[in-house]
Amino acid sequence: MDARTEREIGGAVQPNITRGGFVPSSIPVYYEELLDPTLRTFKSAEELKQIYESRGVLPSHEVIAYCLVGMRASVDLFALHLIGYDKLKNYYGAWEEWGDGRGASVVGPAYSCSMG
């Protein structure tokens, strides 16, 4: 799961990273989509489930989340934990490592599905 913004995925906001794009098979879920815009708290459990399941992220799946350095991905993972997902991992190397990895497979820079 990719917790970066569309601009980051496109390569616009990536200090010291050589390319845009995303990890093949990743699904975009930017953490701010999970928050009530007024209260700045998590949306309801039903709304969170709808966000993830509508993108094909199911409780039976192992979810590995990443962003630029691993911090925003933890918000996605915490939200998933709150709604009962238990196969969760944070890729701490994140895009900082993957995006600069020689030979690491990259798709992009745009996802084929819309974010949000």
Tell me which of 51, 67, 68, 75 is the catalytic residue.
67
Residue bearing the bigger pLDDT, 79 or 92:
79
Q: What is the pTM of this model?
A: 0.83
> Would you say residue 111 lies in a domain?
no
Catalytic residue check, 67: yes
> Would you say residue 110 lies in a domain?
no
Residues 6+ apart with CB under 8 A from 85: 52, 59, 63
Strand partners, 90: 65
> Would you say residue 106 lies in a domain?
no
- Reported as a single tens digit per residue, the pLDDT across 30-87 is 989 999 999 989 999 999 999 999 999 999 999 999 988 888 999 999 999 999 999 9
Strand partners, 74: none
- pLDDT of the residue at 109: 56
> Would you say residue 77 lies in a domain?
yes
> What one-letter code names the amino acid at 94?
A
- pLDDT of the residue at 111: 46
> Would you say residue 114 lies in a domain?
no
> Would you say residue 82 lies in a domain?
yes
- pLDDT of the residue at 14: 64
Structural domain containing residue 33: 6-98
Number of domains making up the chain: 1
- Residue 18's domain is classified under what CATH number? 3.40.250.10
